[in-house]
Amino acid sequence: MTAMCDVAFLLLTFFMLTSNFTKKEPVLVATPSSVSEIKIPETNVMTVLVDKTGKVYFGIDGKDNRQQLIQKMAEQYKVNLTPDEIKRYTLLDLAGNPMQVMKTFLDLRADVRDLPENNMGIPADSTNNEFKDWVKAARDINPDFRLAIKADEATPYPVIKKVMTSLQDLDENRYNLITKLEGAPGKE
């Protein structure tokens, strides 16, 4: 009994110390595979998530950063957010809604917030481009942020192109594409 208990707690300690929690993503995204073996850094990452239907989500690391980010965006888009709503935003890893509906979105119950109809995606078109403002605001908060794009493998290219052109306009020319590990080259 004692031995089993020891092992159990050893494992528990191991998992507690090594754990970094899975980020909660509003949509399930199947990333394409690649042979690249570079790992993504754990901190200072801003993540752009693109789902199959072309909705764009954006999120950055750290609660303090997120608080600054949402305050900046709220100010820019003249949206009045209560401290409670700001706090709710800081608890979200990724969010994808135009600022106009952000308030209503944050007022939703947590369990319905991930439903597809409640996530419209951040507009990233050439005419209406909130996405650029998000990236710009995040860049102002921390210039060391790495940009990571996580997109579904079935995402049509025009959506990716939109995101990439927006980033190019901001002079963000280096970024990471998140992929999953593929076996040895040659396997298809």
Partner 1 sequence: MAEISQDSGSHKKGGKKRSKKMSTRVDLTPMVDLGFLLITFFMLATTLIKPQTMEITMPSTKKVEEEDKTVAKASQAISLILAKDNSVYYYFGKTEGAKVIKTDYSSEGLRKMLLEKNYDVAKQVEDLKVEKAKVHMTEEDYQKKLSEIKANKNAPVVRIMATDDASYKNLVDALDEMNICSISRYAIVNFDAPDQDMMKAQFADNQLSK
Rounded to 5 degrees, φ, ψ at 60 are -125, 170
Residue 114 class from Cβ within 10 Å (0-12 exposed, 13-18 middle, 19+ buried)? middle
Total binding residues toward partner 1, as defined by CB under 8 A: 58
Shortest spacing between CB 170 and partner 1, in angstroms: 10
- Is-contact 51 152, C-beta < 8 A? yes
What residues between 158 and 187 interact with partner 1 by CB under 8 A?
158-161, 164, 167-169, 171, 173-182, 185-186
Burial class (CB in 10 A: 0-12, 13-18, 19+), 58: buried
Per DSSP bridges, beta strands 146-151 and 56-60 are unpaired
- Which window, 83-91, 110-118, 130-138, 148-156, contacts partner 1 (CB under 8 A)? 148-156
CA distance 50 to 147: 13
How long, in residues, is the chain?
188
The answer to the question of residue 93 lying near partner 1 (CB under 8 A) is no
Site mask for partner 1 (CB under 8 A), range 23-62, x = bound = --------xxxxxxxxxx-x-------x------------
Residues that bind partner 1 (CB under 8 A): 1-2, 4-5, 8-9, 11-12, 15-16, 18-22, 31-40, 42, 50, 148, 150-161, 164, 167-169, 171, 173-182, 185-186, 188
